Every structure is written in structure tokens, then in C-alpha cells.
Amino acid sequence: MSALRKHLPFSGYSSAYALPRVIRCSTNLYLAQFAFMKLLPAKHVIEQALNRGTLKQDTTLLETSSGTFALGLAVVCREHGFRLEIFTDPVMDRALENRLRSLGAEVVIVTEKAKQGGYQASRLDALHARIGELGHACFWPRQYETEDNPAAYKSFADQITGMLGADVTVVGSVGSGGSTCGTIERLREESPSARLIGVDTFNSVIFGQPDGDRKLRGLGNSLVPKNVKHELYDEVHFTSASLAFAATRELHERHAIFAGPTSGASYIVGRWRARQYPDETVVVICPDEGHRYVESVYHHEWLRQNGCVYEGVLLDAPATEEHPSTARPPWNRYRWMRKSREAILSASEQ
């Protein structure tokens, strides 16, 4: 009982759930499961802005997001009493939209897709128009470019170092680039040999695929975020939606880890890496839990209607491509070798 008394209650939801639970799945495979990962950078960005005086109590926060960064902002804004406006698109699921509104956020759904940059570009256009209306009375966290996004993951990297040491292989999905880049930069301060594997999806431009429609959400992008530091990645894997969904369900069925599809995409890559390199300690970043996906990823009829039923045995290994632009479903691997995006793409033109 005396030991229990040493642990004081958390000051709020964001403090309690900002860091993940680390779960061992096999001899050298660990999963770091967040309640929803974007709570960590949302909390850090807002707290840093308050410390600098760039965010004041009567300021309205504006951001573009179709996923859990919006939810993270909504939680922290509710705790601090800030107004929040989120610019999103029809891809945002109704459950998330309802939760945002319940937390007091205004949700603006942009319905027209820009010819270049898709919904993400049109959402940014709407956000800029709103900034023009509000002037200095608003604050834009800029999740895709603020250095406070990757800096937020120093605490997560320190958590990993304290448990497993810094010489690990990190496997994580890439959207804004904050989680994977911020984590590996901190780990390499202690262990320069720490390895980073990015997980993307087909039709995402981040690592050189042509832009297109994507059924797998939460990773990938139609724009290249400034926070993606390509020189940090050792490998990049591309997974299809169907394979990621199947891996998500296997993660639950085999390990009882209830997670979203970005976690499934990273899990299948991490499982392969751990088997290929048994001397490495592999840490898979699982960005969120599975509650939002009960009626989709975990629902066979939804999968069938959306053409995402994966009938085969879950793949044990990816194909390996000579260039990321030629990668094809369901799963491809490219040895990025810590090079710049420009160096990789220019090599294909020679």
C-alpha cells in the first residue's frame, strides 16, 4: 500500500495518456501503443506556445486535420479553455467529428478537392482564409512544419531508452513526420546506430510515389511535410489498405492489442524486421486504439463493400524495389539508406 501512495493522480487527461504503454509481443518485438499519439505533440505545441507568449487566453486555435491531431488539440484546448476550429474533409469519420464537437471544437468540412494537393491543399486554403479574417486573434499550430511537433517525441524516446536502451529499430507510420523523426533524432543522441523504418502507403508522395486516392488513412500525404526529414530513414515500406487492415485484425487476434490500421501497417513491417534480425530490438509505434474502426476495419461487411477484404495468408515478407516510384501493392520495401528525397528521386531520372 505504501508503494501505491507514491503515485499521485494525473493533473488531467492529456498528462495521463500522452505516453504509450510498451508491450512485448515476442522475443525482440515490442509495441508502443498510444491511446492516440497526436495528443503528445498537441500538448507540447500548445504548452510551448504558452511559454513563449505566442498563445494567449483570448486566442482561437486553427488547424487542418482529418485525424487524431485534431482530437489532441480538442482535448488540450478543453483543458486550457481555448476555442478551436478544425478544417477537415469528408474523409473524417463521424465518430471523430462528434467527439470533436462534444469537446467544443468547431469542425469545418471542406468538400472541394484541389487539383494539386487534393483535400489537404483545399483545407489549407480555407484555413488561410480564416486567418485573414481573424488576424492576430488566432494561432495556427502548424503540425506539418513546426519544430515543436518532432520535439514532443523526446519524452517518448527517453521512455524507450529507459526500458530497452537507445540502440533499437523504430518502425512507424509517416504522415507529418513528427513521431518517427523526432523519436529517432533523440535516440541517436545516445546511439547513432539506432535504425528507423518508415511505413507509408501507395499513392502517397512523401517518399516518391505518384499522388492518388488512398484508402489507408492516418499515414501518407498528398504534400511533402517539412517535418519529414528523409535523411533519417534507413528503410521505407509501402503497404496496401487491405493488407494493413488484415494485419490490424491479426494484431488483435494474436496479441489482444486493439489498434487502428496505421498500427497494423507498422506491425506487419515490425514483425518481419524482428524475424529477419533477431539480434535487434524492434519497437513498433502504434498511434491509436481501435475504437474508431469497429464498424470499418473490424467489420467484414464494410471491408467487402469497400473492396478491402484480404483473403490470403498474411504475407511474411515484402517485395524489394529498385525505386520507390515503382513500388506496387500489396507490400514493398525500399532501402532508403538515410538519403535525401532529392537524391533518391533524381537517381531515377538518370
Q: How far apart are CA 326 and CA 187, in angstroms?
A: 31
pLDDT score recorded for residue 27: 96
Query: Does domain 39-139 fall into CATH 3.40.50.1100?
Result: yes
pLDDT score recorded for residue 267: 98
What percent of the chain is predicted at pLDDT more than 90?
82
What percent of the chain is predicted at pLDDT more than 70?
97
Q: How far apart are CA 39 and CA 177, in angstroms?
A: 15
Section 104-121 average pLDDT: 89
User: Cβ distance 265 to 219 under 8 Å?
Assistant: yes
| Residue 213: CA count within 13 A, CB half-sphere | 3
User: At residue 5, does pLDDT exceed 80?
Assistant: no
pLDDT score recorded for residue 1: 40
Angle CA 39–121–135, to nearest 5: 75
Handedness of CA 187, 192, 194, 196 (dihedral sign): positive
In 3D, which of 151, 158, 145 has the Cα closest to residue 44? Answer: 151
Q: How far is CA 114 from CA 124, 155, 191, in A?
A: 10, 37, 43
User: At residue 109, does pLDDT exceed 70?
Assistant: yes
User: At residue 225, does pLDDT exceed 70?
Assistant: yes
User: Cβ distance 173 to 266 under 8 Å?
Assistant: yes
Query: Does domain 2-37+148-314+323-342 fall into CATH 3.40.50.1100?
Result: yes
Coil, strand or helix: which one is 37?
coil
Q: How far is CA 327 from CA 23, 195, 207, 269, 323, in A?
A: 31, 22, 11, 15, 7
Q: pLDDT digit string (tens) for 283-314? A: 999 999 999 899 999 999 999 999 998 877 78
Q: What is the mean pLDDT of the chain?
A: 93
Which residues in the chain are classed under CATH 3.40.50.1100?
2-37+148-314+323-342, 39-139
User: At residue 349, does pLDDT exceed 60?
Assistant: no
Higher pLDDT among residues 1 and 346, named by residue: 346
